[in-house]
Amino acid sequence: MNALMATKITQQDKDETKLVRHAITDVDAFAELYRRHLTRVYRYHMAHIGNVKDAEDLTSQTFMAVLEGIRSFRGSGSFAAWIMGIASKKRLMFFRRNGSRPEIPLDAALQYPSPDLPTDKAANRRLQLESVSRALRQISPDRSEAIILTFFGGLSNVEAGRVLNKSEAAVKMLVSRGLQDLRERTSLALEVER
């Protein structure tokens, strides 16, 4: 593991690691982790699958795997990255089981509300992402996955790097190049707030 990545563990990650330890034996602690990460996991699956039923099923499967494997979380990185790694594995298993990857409208992933955005900002973001969703299917899978993890999954570049087994710099480059690809395919001027 990259030493720089290991030093970027935040206080929030430390607090969440304590919550994870409690969640091993405390249902309420696990429920809190579920509430904190439900939106990001659902949006991630919805962005890839595009089908509400399958996204809900994969989200349930992800959290069942989290519950079964929570003792294996070591706290060396964020819990968000760990859980998104599980979500990624569940997604890959879904595609292997069902054959090919579907062509999907990613704007459906935005139907799950984000309580932390004011209505006007949420509407603006939705309009931008509807245009982006069409173009996202046309760029390289690595760039698309990095963008989905950071924007739909809400992960930082460091956290996305843990999921993708890439450095923070590599993820930053994938996102940057992916956004450039998207700019070329859309009329929007996208801004990255990372």
The tokens for 150 are 């950071």
Q: Within a 10 A sphere around the Cβ of 175, how many other Cβ atoms?
A: 20
Angle, in degrees to the nearest 10, between helices 79-98 and 11-23: 60
Query: What's the pLDDT at 5?
Result: 41
pLDDT along the chain (194 residues), means of 10: 44 78 93 94 86 90 96 89 94 82 49 53 60 74 92 91 94 93 69 45
* Long-range own/partner contacts, residues 158-161 (CB < 8 A, 24 or more apart): 158/5, 158/8, 158/77, 158/78, 158/81, 159/77, 159/78, 159/80, 159/81, 159/84, 160/81, 160/84, 161/5
The 3-state DSSP composition of the chain as helix, strand, coil percent (nearest 5) reads: 75, 0, 25
Residues 83, 154 contacting (CB under 8 angstroms): no
Q: What amino acid is encoded at 128 in this protein?
A: Q
Closest CA to 161 of 80, 50, 100: 80
Q: Sign of torsion, CA 27 150 84 133?
A: positive
Query: What's the pLDDT at 3?
Result: 42
